[in-house]
Amino acid sequence: MLDDKSEIIAHFIGIFELNVEAARMKIQYQEMQAWLSPQPDLGPLLNITINVSSAYNLSDFEPDLGWRTTIPASPLLFVNTSIPAAPAYAAPYVYDFFPKLFFDPALFSPVILSGEPVFFIQPPSSAASITVQTNWLQDHDLLLTYDAGVEFLPAASFDAMLLDLAEYAQTLHVLNMPEMAEDEDSMIQNAAEMHETLGHIADHGVPLSATDADVYVAHGDDALSVTVNGAATDALTELPEISIHFASETSEDEDEEDATDGAKTAEGEEITQEFDGTPDSPDNAEDPPHELTTGGNIALNEARIASDWLDASVVTVMGHHAETIAVSQVNIWNDTDIINGQVSETSEGSTAGINGFSFEMTSSPRPAAESEDGEPGPPPSFAAITEIDGNLINYNYVKQFNFASDNDVVSVQFEAQDSYFQTGGNFLSNGFGLLGLGFHYDLIVVGGNMVDMKFISQTNVLLDSDVLYHQAGFEGSISTSDNLLFNSASIRQIGTDQIVEMNQTFADASEAVMRGDTDIGAARNDEAFVGTDLLRILNIKGDIVDVQMVEQFNLLGDADQIAWASETAQSIDGADVSVISGENELINMASIIDAGIDSRIYTSEGAYTESFLYQADFISEEDPVLAAENSGLTGEAFLFLADGLIPQDEGGDDHAISTPLPTEVSVDVMQSVLA
């Protein structure tokens, strides 16, 4: 916005530019008129008639148009009639020599003429993604419209206790998120170290850092189930079932439909009520006319990874097969409130902590091909190989952080007909979604190892310790709790893996494939390949590395100091006043879906599987006022110390330039929107 003088000057400049442009256009018009004066008659316009004719007309719509690759005639005069017909779907056909695409000579007569088809199958691709999402918020509001005679503490002084809770939450975890991998070797090393750590925990137990924490630990098959707060259940707790802000409205809509659908009849005494112009009493109103909200903050992290990347009916591994599934969930909070000097401990509040994990494995058999008489189909007639020289990687690394401090200092008096004060209601969210699609083969030969790791870490830290002052005889509603700490993780595997020891048949077949020979011997007659015309083979000279890692962290401080006068125009005792300093929600939701088909995995050096589930809740009963009086922490210090909770990458040269925060505090809670 411009001031009055600047706006007048701007208008003058604009009018001046319009006048200059009009004068310039007038000069150009006069020059054109002078040029046209000697030639007033330009003659008739040139008209050209174009006739277009075509022998091709558009045809009608033809649904289900079939397409089939046609094989060109052989360039030679003589054709080997012993070559069987190629399947219709085996396309394209290349009539040339490719060193890494092989045509099976064992299926045909010794005389192979030029012009035979060479089958080409697409090799898979490696995929890697690294995602780090971070939200920072410091919303310390100072709203003083009424002198309550109360001495308030600095809002930032409560952040020291919040950071102590965050550090304690990190020590409560027994598994740490691996560092971001720099190369393929680091990916493999991280998976190996995680597998080794889980094996050590299974042998020696969990090193508990807190005796007051409620901890649940499960290994092996016990971890691969549906578990909520350490108890086996049939299904995970859904967020709309327990959330205030994300509550489902289905039941309410159904009730409204039931109340309005169809004709309704009623019998009874007729009641007549006259309206005197006064508003309804607070008991009959849906919402109180006077409301103060300093809570209602939401911190949400959501990550969904779905992958149908690579699979085969049969996989042979020359090394070992290692599978790791680990989930670690921690909730820690302090909800100690002080109302007129009376302390309400955290355990007495209505804050809920939910840790839920679900593991599901479903079978996905490959459709069995049968001949016309219903018998199993013949073994493959053709075979094609595609080769990967090195490792094949599917790596997804996701980190999501929400850091928020919303410590408000409010002293108000409720007046007028209606009033509404809100200094909270912040919403921080991180979202990540990935869908990876790849290829399926009939046989995969891995020259190295097969590594599969899925790791989810979820943490919620909440400080909702409020200090409230009100006059004696207050009859309104006060909500200082009703918070939610929600961790939900799910891993779904579509397609079962049967791990078996390598036998001689597939050992010989693997050696042949690694030599580049499509004649895999007796393995061609395996039941997994029956009914397949073209045997698609993938040869990987290195390792298969499939690593999915997700870390989610929510840190929220909502330590409010509130004082208010409860006498209003409608109610002397303040019965029409509602004060909400809680109802905060910290939500972490992560899901990993690994889709494929049922497979048989042959290993030469064995198979190793580790599954681990860790769930912990800790309730702090520390006095927030005492901790705040001894802290002396400033708002800038909170951002600086909270930044240390995120592991920093020291290898990069690019660093962001930080801007110092202003020291003054604004009463305008919408300043970030209007700026």
Sign of CA dihedral 648, 652, 656, 657: positive
pLDDT score of 77: 43
pLDDT score of 58: 76
Q: Mean pLDDT, to the nearest integer, of 27-35?
A: 74
pLDDT of 488 over the 80 cut: yes
pTM: 0.73
pLDDT of 328 over the 50 cut: yes
* DSSP summary character for residue 376: B
Distances (CA, A) of 264 to 257, 258, 273: 13, 11, 22
Mapped onto helix, strand or coil, the DSSP state of residue 520 is coil
Distances (CA, A) of 534 to 86, 103, 327, 515, 524: 9, 11, 41, 19, 11
User: How many residues make up the chain in this entry?
Assistant: 675
Q: How many CB atoms lie within 10 A of CB 621?
A: 13
pLDDT score of 223: 93
Q: Give, in degrees to the nearest 5, the angle at Cα 468 between 467 and 473.
A: 155
The b/e string for 511-547 (b: 16+ C-beta within 10 A; e otherwise) is ebbbeebbbbeebbebebbbbbbbbbbbbbbbbbbbb
Q: How far apart are CA 344 and CA 623, in angstroms?
A: 10
pLDDT score of 596: 94
pLDDT of 666 over the 90 cut: no
- The answer to whether residues 587 and 581 touch, using CB atoms and an 8 Å cutoff, is no
pLDDT of 105 over the 80 cut: no
pLDDT of 476 over the 60 cut: yes
The b/e string for 203-230 (b: 16+ C-beta within 10 A; e otherwise) is eeeeeeeeeebebbbbbeeebbebbbbe
pLDDT score of 103: 42
Q: How far apart are CA 148 and CA 169, in angstroms?
A: 37
Q: Mean pLDDT, to the nearest integer, of 249-258?
A: 54
pLDDT score of 332: 95
Lowest mean pLDDT among 1-10, 336-345, 556-565: 1-10
pLDDT score of 281: 42
Q: How far apart are CA 31 and CA 36, in angstroms?
A: 9
Tell me the longest C-alpha to C-alpha distance in the chain: 110
pLDDT score of 422: 92
The model's pLDDT over 32-90, given as tens digits with 9 standing for 90+, comes to 777 766 666 666 777 788 887 877 777 777 766 655 555 555 554 444 444 444 444 44
The model's pLDDT over 360-375, given as tens digits with 9 standing for 90+, comes to 999 998 876 655 565 6
